[in-house]
Amino acid sequence: MKITDLKCAVIGDHPIVRIVTDDGISGYGEIEHYKPAWSPIVMMLKPALIGQDPTDVERVMRRIRARGGFKPWGAAVSAVEMALWDVAGKAAGVPVYKLLGGKVRDRVRTYDGSLRQPMTGQTPDDYAEAVRYMANLDEGFSIVKQAIAFHTTMIYDVPDFFVHTPEPKAFHGFPNRGLMTEKGFRHVVECAEAMKSALGDRVGLALDCGPGWVLPDAIRFAREVERLNLVWLEDMLTGDYTPFVNADVYRELTRSTSTPIHTGEQIYLRQNFKALIEGHAVNVIGPDPCDIGGIAELKWVAEYADLHGIMIAPHGTGNGLLGLAALVQVCATLPDNFIAFEYPSARTEWWSQIVEGLPEPIVGHGTIAVGDRPGMGVEFNIEQTLPYLREEDRDFFA
């Protein structure tokens, strides 16, 4: 089998990768909806792929892996990797999890970071209502994650939140960073208390915190909320769109508190997790298959983290339904350091009409059943999808 073409179409803000083969099998991968301009970057990989055997996934990946980088620059390579596995599974007539070593669980736990109502304000009551809504969804999530502090508009809406003048919000936020005022710090604590009070002990609470905290504030906050038994504090120091790790600084934070510390969604490739894992710099890592370099890369990192006593809770909020299918496949194979993955919901309602193969309902009691369809387990309903293709992408399925 040989790759004969590589295509990329933007469908509902998601760049969708299609690998075409001479056997008539196509494989698909998806990029976060935050990156609708990524089609040209995907197509730069085409010369390295044409003529290769897509079922030799690692051999093909060695040709393109050096062309990615920390989020967002690893997205194209990651999507191609997932499309390769989709082809390989279909060619073998088995789900991808079989090719990754087989499943160790029949249902995978997912947590809610995407099904939410718009925030109506930045008060403790607003935050309590936000998590109460997520906890009462029919999906029955056992863990919900709420953004707080530098990952929200608190920096604009809470007067004198921190010591600097906040920069205007730009592409997917702006990296505001600095020491909090006593007032700002207390406000974040009160919001965390309100959320935990709303959830009680029936639903776990994780907080997506930044990045943006300075180390002394991060230590004080992590210690202050130890009594709340949070699932984790995420990306306090570095994280979303940060092109480095700062493992030594994270280690200072992690060693100072019993509250679990989490990071990793922006990191590309296993080598860049080395310092976090070997230095025991965090308690939980959160690689995103759409940014780390694909699902095999995520599995390798999960296994290595398990050897070092570190948990894994993969990121994925913007990955769409193809990304959801990929997360189910890989998380079915992960060791017992797996907590849950972040649920990628459909960006618009019509997505559920154009992608076939997911269970209905998708989530029950906070978990998703692992199916047995070949490849990633999902396919496009081409006729249903055609109306949503842009004019320049009309030949995507040709």
Q: Is residue 370 part of a domain?
A: yes
Percentage above 90 pLDDT, the chain:
97
Same-domain status, 386 and 360: no
Same-domain status, 80 and 183: no
Angstrom CA distances, 177 to 162, 212, 382, stand at 8, 4, 46
Q: Is residue 267 part of a domain?
A: yes
φ, ψ at 95 (rounded to 5°)? -65, 155
Residue 294 pLDDT exceeds 90: yes
pLDDT band of residue 169 (cuts 50, 70, 90) is: confident
Residue 280 pLDDT exceeds 80: yes
Same-domain status, 114 and 244: yes
Q: Is residue 264 part of a domain?
A: yes
Are the C-beta atoms of residues 186 and 224 closer than 8 Å to each other? no
Looking at residue 174, its pLDDT comes to: 65
User: What average pLDDT does the chain have?
Assistant: 97
Give me the mean pLDDT over the 30-49 stretch: 97
Same-domain status, 75 and 110: no
Give me the mean pLDDT over the 275-286 stretch: 98
pLDDT band of residue 378 (cuts 50, 70, 90) is: very high
Separation CA 6–CA 26 (nearest Å): 10
Give me the mean pLDDT over the 164-175 stretch: 80
Residue 199, amino acid: L
Are the C-beta atoms of residues 63 and 357 closer than 8 Å to each other? no
- Of the candidates 45, 55, 52, the residue with the CA atom closest to the CA atom of residue 17: 45
Same-domain status, 70 and 121: no
**C-alpha distance across the termini of the chain, in Å:** 19
Same-domain status, 241 and 371: yes
Give me the mean pLDDT over the 350-368 stretch: 97
- Which residues partner with 29 through β-bridges? 17
Looking at residue 173, its pLDDT comes to: 64
Q: What share of the chain is helix, strand, coil (3-state, %, to 5)?
A: 40, 15, 45
Separation CA 60–CA 78 (nearest Å): 12
Same-domain status, 286 and 148: yes
Q: For the segment 190-213, what is each residue's pLDDT rounded down to a tens digit?
A: 999 999 999 999 999 999 999 999
Same-domain status, 54 and 106: no
Percentage above 70 pLDDT, the chain:
99
Residue 382 pLDDT exceeds 80: yes
Are the C-beta atoms of residues 70 and 293 closer than 8 Å to each other? no
Separation CA 349–CA 369 (nearest Å): 21
Q: Is residue 398 part of a domain?
A: no
Q: For the segment 50-81, what is each residue's pLDDT rounded down to a tens digit?
A: 999 999 999 999 999 999 999 999 999 999 99
Size (the chain), residues:
398
Same-domain status, 139 and 164: yes
Q: Rg of the Cα trace of the chain?
A: 21
Give me the domain span that covers residue 347.
Answer: 99-375
Give me the mean pLDDT over the 107-119 stretch: 96
Give me the mean pLDDT over the 390-395 stretch: 97
Residue 347 pLDDT exceeds 90: no
Number of domains comprising the chain: 2
Q: Is residue 331 part of a domain?
A: yes
Q: Is residue 247 part of a domain?
A: yes
Write the CATH number for 155. 3.20.20.120
H helix intervals, the chain: 39-43, 46-49, 57-64, 75-92, 96-99, 124-135, 154-157, 182-199, 215-224, 247-255, 274-278, 289-292, 295-307, 320-331, 351-354, 382-385
Q: Is residue 37 part of a domain?
A: yes
Same-domain status, 84 and 105: no
Same-domain status, 321 and 292: yes
Q: Which two tokens stand for residue 199?
A: 């959830």
Task: Please identify which residue in the block is written with the tokens 């995907």.
Answer: 42
Write the CATH number for 27. 3.30.390.10
Same-domain status, 188 and 314: yes
